[in-house]
Amino acid sequence: MLFVANKPMFISSNKFLNKLKRKYNIKKMGFSGTLDPFACGCLIIASGQYTKLFRFLKKTPKTYIATLMFGAYSSTLDLEKIESIKNTKQFDREKIIEVLNSFIGKQTQLPPKYSAKKINGVRAYKLSEKCKVKNEKWKMKNDLIKTTTPLHQSTPYLEKEVEIEILDIELINYSHPFLTFKTSVSEGTYIRSLGFDIAQKLGVNGALTYLERINEGEFRYECERLLNPIKYLDLEENFYLNDIQNLLLGKKLNINDFKIQKKGKYFVKYDKFFAIIEIDQEVKYILNRIELC
């Protein structure tokens, strides 16, 4: 099965998944796109063979609604580990809109220390708790934040930047010190980092107090309605022109037996199944005998 669940606030994605396993009495179940414990919203869930399809699904752009509190500093960039709160001046609405718009486009972003990024196979948030980091690729950054006002905290970021894209961002509401905005972003974008960066550009600290994922591509919460994975594959359909027994038995396939022969990855429907293949100098199975919905 493949569906979208609505994760509530203050529960980890893994614990929420365990609840779904018990609800549907299914042992093998997984999710795509971890939501932070304090966050809520769209979480793509799959069971059985469909758990292998996550990397082939159309999951972008992702849309979020977030509320940012100006003056709050948190090592996690959210309300879970707020260390200090300072009064800040009220900003002009036009200035906020100007700052929000400045983030639109392709750019690089620093992931939070408290994130699921792996350092030598260990999640960064676990290393942040232990303060034992000895990796050169994803180092913890400890220099002071450079801003127009003295903030006296170390930056909550990892050192290595990742490439992201902010496709759209808009102001929903501003009631000082709370700013609510909506944004559509590429995969891999951290909204906690975006919120902190927005506050920094205004010369203050900031932490998210609310975060909701509205959608991942075409995936939206619809009361856990079952979805047909074929409709959500980010792959072109190809057609096998020879005996489908070759596919059923997983035999070696010839490029000349396909309608589309150019290099790429495709899905191929046959009998009651579909396969995901890759065409290069030869044809390779990526997945096979995945049951059609």
Active site residues: 36
Of the candidates 230, 212, 214, 188, the one whose C-alpha atom is nearest the C-alpha of residue 2 is: 230
Q: Which residues pair with 246 in a beta bridge?
A: none
Check: CB of residue 202 under 8 Å from CB of residue 151: no
From residue 9, alpha-carbon distances to 41, 51, 71 in Å are: 8, 24, 23
For 136, phi then psi, to 5°, come to: -85, -25
With beta carbons less than 8 A apart as the criterion, state whether 104 and 185 touch. no
Nearest CA among 206, 174, 188 for reference residue 98: 174
Q: Give the separation between CA 76 and CA 83, rounded to whole angstroms.
A: 10
d(CA 279, CA 138): 34
SS3 284: strand
- Distance between CA atoms of residues 69 and 58, nearest Å: 32
CA distance 30 to 46: 5
Task: Give how far Cα 262 sits from Cα of 238, 256, 259, 282, Å.
Answer: 10, 10, 9, 11
Where helices occur in 27-85 by DSSP H, the ranges are: none
